[in-house]
Amino acid sequence: MALDVDGYAVLQAMASEPEAFPDIRTEIPKAARALVVKQLKARSLRAPSLRLIRDVLGSETLALIVDGMSEAEVKGLVTRLDPHHPSLKTATPGWHRHRLSALAAGEAPFRKGETRVEDSPAKLRAAEAPPERALANRPFAAVWDGKDHDAPPAKEGREKKDKERDRKGKKKKG
């Protein structure tokens, strides 16, 4: 029987010395995202496990990973974690993402036949408006307008002439 390496130890060593692995630098985020998504899709995942994942990764990192998931994947995850939610059948994709983040933040899933005060019509109307996705936030929404707004670099020849004129006592133009 062949021995296998400890994957966690290998990943921890890679994270502690990233300069030793320059050729796979672009693959690390893809692999990390794929591993987390695979864990989120696992049939054994329950709300407490989702909360633990959020605590370990942080809410922003988890939001970015969930933002990269398809609408069908998020809907399937919410349906599995909170199958008795009364708004589940009429919910929009934005609502599913919002509900997943609420479950990860610690909100309890609905039990069969349970209704809560938070199901008021005003609350449901507010939930229908799709929440802003993480990639739509201002830092991620920057786009290039095709123009170079930096000042053009000064030419070296002109600077030397100006310095020579200053040394000779002549006034600079301008």
Q: Give 75-115 pLDDT, tens digit per residue.
A: 999 999 999 888 888 899 999 999 999 999 999 888 886 77
For residues 133 and 151, give the distance between their C-alpha atoms in angstroms, rounded to a whole number. Answer: 35
Q: Cβ(93)–Cβ(74) under 8 Å? A: yes
Report the pLDDT value the prediction gives residue 27, as an integer from 0 to 100.
Answer: 93
Residues of the chain below pLDDT 70: 1-2, 113, 116-143, 154-174
Residue 62 parent element (H or E): helix 59-67
pLDDT at residue number 145: 74
Burial class (CB in 10 A: 0-12, 13-18, 19+), 78: buried
pLDDT the model gives residue 47: 92
- Residue among 86, 92, 50, 99 nearest 71 (CA): 92
Whole-angstrom distance, CA of residue 87 vs CA of residue 109: 12
